[in-house]
Chains A and B, each alone.
Chain A
């Protein structure tokens, strides 16, 4: 049982380059999330998708776009990477958001922007 799978696990970009982080879950969950984790800042929500076909901004959405491709997959795109986007990115999923949701996380994608 794979759970939540993120790719790639590591990536180095130059300022201005673009890339997409991929996330897939095999638990038939409805809700999916993208967080970033930075030292001293904790986990901050970038975007989430409460259900297939919907996406909403979180706390720090600027510089990112997302696509809920289908129920299983939720991608995060950096159109023009900046050094401030150097971080560890986590994808997560839950059956539903809010009061019913135990959250399951992927292993993380470590991004460095030079």
Chain B
């Protein structure tokens, strides 16, 4: 059974800092990995999707990498801003099965 772990559960950084969020998964036979953002009281918004054949994806200040062999993905946020404060979740898909989610990292960016 696929398990997805995100460490740390919470992170607080000063504005302007570059930061990395971590995601690990137990079964490396995945088809894709997605990173989501969730604001308090809201639904999830897809940030980046990495197909299994890709090593990374970039969107603005966000860069997600994927290392299938080690079962790891990282989400890099450059020049963090208070507006980046949210919970970030990663999720993996294997075959035609639905996504399996991690429990998320709650990020606070302090002005």
* Residue positions of A touching B, CB distance < 8 A: 4, 33, 40-43, 45, 48, 50, 58, 90, 92, 97-99, 101-108
Contacts and interface: CB of A to CB of B under 8 A. Distances in A.
Interface of B: 31-32, 34, 36, 41-46, 49, 51-52, 89, 91, 93-99, 101-104
What 5 A-B pairs have minimum CB-CB distances, sorted nearest first? Answer: A99-B31, A98-B96, A42-B103, A105-B43, A43-B101
A102 B45 CA distance: 10
B99 to A, nearest CB: 6
Contacts of A107: 42-43
Contacts of B34: 102-103
Contacts of B98: 33, 45, 48, 58, 97-98
Contacts of A104: 46
B102 A98 contact: no
10 contacts: A40-B103, A43-B101, A98-B95, A98-B97, A99-B32, A99-B93, A99-B95, A99-B96, A104-B46, A105-B45
